[in-house]
Structure 1
């Protein structure tokens, strides 16, 4: 990472892709970006919170994005309202995705995140972009949900970029 800015696992969607391919392409691009930001670091570095006033860590961001994927695809899109997050957060501990990082190694969080991406992709693949969500107070199209997931990843990848640079000086990717 750092000097090698090109990774075969990550590519931008073609400029002339159809809408669905473009949205899914950008979502996957940003998913891989966060993964690349975490590669090559040890457990201590992944848990490091280099900004004294912030609880942000790369490990915490991966846990947070697991929660985000679950909420928007399982709870909102698919209407699984009886299911609370099986991962980290609860009513009692709403910020648990960023806390208690030592409770499980990063590899476990990464695997849960990758599994949740797969589940999200499966739920989204069988619906049209105009599909109205089943959960939530109002119907939200899959198109909106995909756009929001891209926005969420892009914002947190900015955080991850800064965290990575503060941890070991690596930039890019």
Structure 2
């Protein structure tokens, strides 16, 4: 295993508004997750890196469902299933689907002027969807958590570190 260390990039420069800052950090984390899966041979991207079965492709596939659920209002029946790549999935197809979901989500985010309004996630029975501010903060937390997992998995695969 060779060790490839990239220079880590710092936090993004963002616009003056709250939405600009939140979306800037979310985009920064999205790019970090995608970069961790790029260039990894298929078998290694699918291989569980830890006893729980977590793997790079599963993380990206899960985050695609997270984007679609929280920002586009899609329902997810089985969250555990979102962590598993299908036999026909490839690194390229999973990354393309993730990037498509991110692009669609960013179009939605661009229309958000009031972060206090309810977000698009379907409300639970009888309840109201959380605010857009909460939704963006949650997406940053969820994406950052899995970006950390992806960092560790990638380092275990080939020693690559950094963004």
The 1:100–1:22 alpha-carbon spacing in structure 2 relative to 1, beyond 3 Å, is closer
Please state whether the residue corresponding to 1:163 is helix, strand or coil: helix
| TM-score normalised according to structure 2 size | 0.84
The 1:55–1:122 alpha-carbon spacing in structure 2 relative to 1, beyond 3 Å, is same
1:61 is the counterpart of 2:59: yes
Query: Runs of 5+ in structure 2 lacking a partner?
Result: none
- Deviation, 1:115, is 0.5
The alignment covers a number of residue pairs equal to 156
| TM-score normalised according to structure 1 size | 0.80
2: distance between equivalents of 1:119 and 1:156?
Answer: 20
CA RMSD of aligned residues (A): 2.2
Q: Tell me the alpha carbon deviations over residues 129-166 of structure 1, each in whole angstroms, 9 at most, x when there is no partner.
A: 22223531223211111111000010001111111111
What residue in structure 1 maps to residue 117 of structure 2? 131
What residue in structure 1 maps to residue 106 of structure 2? 121
Counterpart contact for 2:151–2:161, Cα < 8 Å: yes
Of stretches 56-65 and 33-42 in structure 1, the one that deviates more from structure 2 is: 33-42
Query: Runs of 5+ in structure 1 lacking a partner?
Result: 76-82
What residue in structure 2 maps to residue 96 of structure 1? 81
2: distance between equivalents of 1:66 and 1:98?
Answer: 10
Q: Tell me the alpha carbon deviations over residues 26-84 of structure 1, each in whole angstroms, 9 at most, x when there is no partner.
A: 00000000011112211111111121x21210000000000000110122xxxxxxx54
Please state whether the residue corresponding to 1:143 is helix, strand or coil: helix
Counterpart contact for 1:3–1:172, Cα < 8 Å: yes
2: distance between equivalents of 1:2 and 1:19?
Answer: 36
2: distance between equivalents of 1:118 and 1:61?
Answer: 18
